[in-house]
């Protein structure tokens, strides 16, 4: 059991029924995540990052969506789990921090009570114990005067403080996996760094694994050990972060990283715009979804989806019929 990864995702598909036809937002995604690892997920808007995160949590609505494949979290299968089984998982194994803290907080309830509720409902604590623990958690996430802030309403706190409260709520169940979907977007740069430092230190302190979805390449370069690049619902490339930055093989990864290809890049460097538009996922063809925007596309690319292939370094995989040579070897022309 101990050598099993904490999270094991296999051939995961999430397909929405839409008026334009089936839309596969997550398309054959497979990866493992070990305890205490941080996986970054990047990709343009609409590439399926949030849908993937919600699917890993078992959070998709049950209507108009089909999920197939497997998500095993700490030995439990998420796909097809009942609501009560999912509640068990959410109470102890996995928690998610969403982009906008206001959507996760109840605006008319004091923040301390919102943490209490998790502790009482999910952990059966009595009122006094829950209050003590809630104040400890507010303190842990760096909220000054935690005992006073326990009584604050969300609107009385700054954006950074609200996001810390959301993280405190997520941590209340002591999850083994924290999924953070753009947890610092909209916060100013100093606060962003503080929140990311906080997540890093909590990961180390609590032995938590983190999945970090972000548009910020500086965050990816400096704070993740592994990287998953998504394009149009599919895995374009994945591997140890340094290898994907320096030795990527898939032209989309190169395009994505082009503006800031170095690990030495300053934090908060945003992804450059790539010419062309991501495809409408309800109307994609059979081949490589990047083909309409790729300078190296051939008929093979347009007709057949490239499988994930191993690159030179362990754990590094890419999906491309005509892979680039690693940057460190040549100019990167495709083979
Ligand atoms: N409930 C839904 N019904 C139909 N389509 C959906 C639904 N939710 C998401 N989608 C579609 O799934 C695709 C992936 O969306 P998703 O929100 O995961 O993108 P994302 O990578 O998180 O983008 P962003 O960077 O903008 O947050 C998009 O084409 C989106 O329109
Ligand atoms: S498979 Fe073809 S179209 Fe897709 S990224 Fe590789 S070269 Fe470009
Ligand atoms: Mg998203």
Ligand 2 atom closest to the Cα of residue 236 is 5
Q: Say if 1 falls within a structural domain.
A: no
Both 158 and 116 in one domain: the answer is: yes
Q: Say if 2 falls within a structural domain.
A: no
Both 55 and 188 in one domain: the answer is: yes
CA distances from 46 to 64, 107, 234, 277, 302 (A): 18, 29, 11, 10, 21
> Are the C-beta atoms of 8 and 32 separated by less than 8 Å?
yes
Both 208 and 258 in one domain: the answer is: yes
Ligand lying closest to the C-alpha of residue 65: 1
Write the CATH number for 243.
3.40.50.300
Which residue segment(s) compose the domain that 143 sits in?
101-174
Task: Dump pLDDT digits (tens) for 239-260.
Answer: 999 999 999 999 999 999 885 5
138, 158, 174 - which closes a domain: 174
Whose Cα sits closest to atom 2 in ligand 1? 16
Both 116 and 208 in one domain: the answer is: no
Q: Say if 284 falls within a structural domain.
A: yes
Structural tokens at position 4: 């099993």
> Separation of 50 CA from ligand 3 center, angstroms?
4
| pLDDT by 10s per residue, the chain, length 335 | 457 899 999 999 999 999 999 999 999 999 999 998 999 999 999 999 999 999 999 998 878 999 999 999 999 999 999 999 998 888 789 999 987 777 789 999 999 999 999 899 878 899 999 999 999 999 888 899 999 999 999 999 998 899 899 989 988 888 999 999 988 877 778 878 888 888 888 888 888 999 999 988 888 999 999 999 999 999 999 999 999 999 999 999 999 988 554 444 454 455 556 788 889 999 998 999 999 999 999 999 999 999 999 999 999 999 999 999 887 655 545 54
Ligand 2 atom closest to the Cα of residue 297 is 3
Both 204 and 166 in one domain: the answer is: no
Q: Say if 107 falls within a structural domain.
A: yes
Q: Say if 46 falls within a structural domain.
A: yes
139, 174, 209 - which closes a domain: 174
Q: How many Cα atoms are found within 13 Å in the side-chain-facing hemisphere of 101?
A: 25
Q: Say if 152 falls within a structural domain.
A: yes
Both 257 and 193 in one domain: the answer is: yes
Q: Say if 20 falls within a structural domain.
A: no
Number of structural domains found in the chain = 2
Q: Say if 191 falls within a structural domain.
A: yes
> Separation of 335 CA from ligand 1 center, angstroms?
33
Q: Give the β-pairing of 308-310 and 226-231.
A: unpaired
Please, which residues have CB within 8 angstroms of residue 65's CB and are 6 or more apart in sequence? 14, 15, 16, 17
Amino acid 144: pLDDT: 92
Q: Give the β-pairing of 177-181 and 209-213.
A: parallel
């Amino acid at each position: 059991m101990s050598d099993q990864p904490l999270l094991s995702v296999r051939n995961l598909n999430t397909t929405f029924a839409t008026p334009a036809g089936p839309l596969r937002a997550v398309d054959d995604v497979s990866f493992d995540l070990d305890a205490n690892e941080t996986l970054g997920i990047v990709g343009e808007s609409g590439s399926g990052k949030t849908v993937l995160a919600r699917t890993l949590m078992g959070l998709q609505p049950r209507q108009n969506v089909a999920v197939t494949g497997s998500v095993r979290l700490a030995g439990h299968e998420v796909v097809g789990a009942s609501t009560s089984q999912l509640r068990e998982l959410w109470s102890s194994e996995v928690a998610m921090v969403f982009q906008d803290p206001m959507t996760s907080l109840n605006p008319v309830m004091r923040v301390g009570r919102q943490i209490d509720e998790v502790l009482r409902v999910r952990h059966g604590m009595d009122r006094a114990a829950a209050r003590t623990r809630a104040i400890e958690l507010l303190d842990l996430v760096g909220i000054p005067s935690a005992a006073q802030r326990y009584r604050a309403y969300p609107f009385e706190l700054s954006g950074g403080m609200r996001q810390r409260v959301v993280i405190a709520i997520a941590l209340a169940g002591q999850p083994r996996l924290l999924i953070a979907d753009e947890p610092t977007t909209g916060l100013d740069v100093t606060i962003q760094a503080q929140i990311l430092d906080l997540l890093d230190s909590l990961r180390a302190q609590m032995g938590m694994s983190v999945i970090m979805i972000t548009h910020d390449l500086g965050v990816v370069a400096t704070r993740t050990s592994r990287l998953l690049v998504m394009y149009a619902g599919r895995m374009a490339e994945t591997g140890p972060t340094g290898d994907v930055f320096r030795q990527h093989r898939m032209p989309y990864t190169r395009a994505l990283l082009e503006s800031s290809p170095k690990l030495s890049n300053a934090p908060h460097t945003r992804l450059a715009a790539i010419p062309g538009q991501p495809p409408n996922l309800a109307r994609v063809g059979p081949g490589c979804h990047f083909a309409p925007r790729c300078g190296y596309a051939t008929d093979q690319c347009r007709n057949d989806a490239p499988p994930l292939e191993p690159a030179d370094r362990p754990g590094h995989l890419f999906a491309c019929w005509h892979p680039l040579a690693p940057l460190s070897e040549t100019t990167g022309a495709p083979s």
